[in-house]
Amino acid sequence: MTNVDEMLESLKLLSDKSRLTILALLKEQEMCVCDIVQILDTTQPNVSQHLKKLKTGGLINETKRRQWVYYSLNFDDKPYLNEILAHLPSMKDRINALSSQSCD
């Protein structure tokens, strides 16, 4: 069972627009850093810092494939976040608008 302090730390991570947007993107599908950088229109180091915080907070998983790292949601032990995630706007249009440039 989750305690109040654990919930507080998770919710603090969601208080940043970039991190909340990253979670909204990952709600749609697993993504690599290069795609997240393109959608957020920011630098790779900036996105990597946000991803590191989300991973440290236990909100995302990472999987390495060749030279790229792919990220996915990890809310299994944080069901209280699913309700918030359900209310995030769809990012399908932004994902579909990615240029043909791919991480692969």
d(CA 57, CA 79): 14
Residue 1 has pLDDT above 60, yes or no: no
Residue 76 has pLDDT above 90, yes or no: no
Residue in 53, 72, 46 with CA at minimum distance from that of residue 9? 53
Residues forming a β-bridge with 79: none
Backbone phi, psi, residue 68, to 5°: -105, 150
Over residues 22-57, the pLDDT tens digits come to: 999 999 999 999 999 999 999 999 999 999 999 999
DSSP secondary structure, 28-96, as one string:
H--EEHHHHHHHHTS-HHHHHHHHHHHHHTTSEEEEEETTEEEEEE--TT-THHHHHHHTSPP-HHHHH
Structural domains of the chain, with CATH: 4-88 (1.10.10.10)
Residue 2 has pLDDT above 80, yes or no: no
Record the tokens describing residue 53, joined without a space: 């915080």
The pLDDT assigned to 68 comes to 86
